[in-house]
Amino acid sequence: MDLEGRRRRFEALAPAVIEAVRRYLVRRTDPATADDVLSETLLVCWRRLEEIPEDHLPWAYGVARNCLANADRSRRRQARLFARIATIDPPPPAIAGPEPRDGELEAAMANLRAADAELLRLWAWEDLSPPQIAVVLGISANAASIRLHRAKEKLREELRKAGAAAGHEGETEGSRP
């Protein structure tokens, strides 16, 4: 493909990719990292334009996912350093604010395996079908379908447990002198 053709194709698909990947990143990281990773993702898209399939969003999510993983690795190194500093010089404890309405869901998601939670996010937030999720994660469509089904089951189970525990906790608190 000649340069002019590449530019035309990139300019045609970039706006949709930017909008989708920006959302994908806002959901998963802080704004500064999101900006960095978005630029990086677009650069990869430009370089590998010939490889982008017709259904380009899942492919772009896959690239963003890898770029974000790289960024997170370097961030974790930083975080370990901060953690050591914090042990020596601990910050004042934050006062717990009121639990947000979706705290239950958040806790249930946190109890899932990270991979299961990510499948559910791709399904609900990015609105992807199992074959598209498969492209993002680099797995077979069949595997994506089965894993998504199981992840949904696990989340339902966690939500049920959380609901039951919340009721129980309320009772013990009430009976305290």
Partner 1 sequence: MTDDDLRALLRRADPARDLPASPQRFPLEDIMTTATPAPPAPRKKIALAAAALVLVAAGIGWLTLRPEETTPTVTTQELRTVQLTAPGVQAKCVEPTAEVLAERADFAFAGTVTAVEGATVTLDVTRVYRGDAAGQVRIAQAGDSSEQMMGSGKFENGKKYLVASSQGSMLICGYSGEADAEGLQGLYDRAFA
3 binds partner 1 per the rule CB under 8 A: yes
Q: Binding residue for partner 1 (CB under 8 A) from 75, 105, 107, 112?
A: 105
Task: Rule CB under 8 A: say whether 27 interacts with partner 1.
Answer: yes
Q: What does the chain look like in DSSP terms, one character per residue? A: --HHHHHHHHHHHHHHHHHHHHHHHHTTS-HHHHHHHHHHHHHHHHHTGGG--SSHHHHHHHHHHHHHHHHHHHHHHHHHHHHHHHHHSPPPPPPP-PPPTTHHHHHHHHHS-HHHHHHHHHHHTS---HHHHHHHHTS-HHHHHHHHHHHHHHHHHHHHHHHHHHHHHHHHHHH--
Does position 72 interact with partner 1 (CB under 8 A)? The reply is no
Residue 155 interacting with partner 1 (CB under 8 A):
yes
**Which residue in 76, 113, 150, 156 binds partner 1 (CB under 8 A)?**
156
x/- track of binding to partner 1 for residues 119-148 (CB under 8 A): -xx-xxx-----------------------
Q: How far is the CB of 77 from partner 1 (least distance, A)?
A: 25
Q: Determine, following the binding rule CB under 8 A, whether residue 42 of this chain makes contact with partner 1.
A: yes
Footprint of partner 1 on this chain (CB under 8 A)? Answer: 1-3, 7, 10-11, 14, 18-19, 22-24, 26-27, 38-39, 42-43, 46-47, 50, 102, 105-106, 120-121, 123-125, 152, 155-156, 159
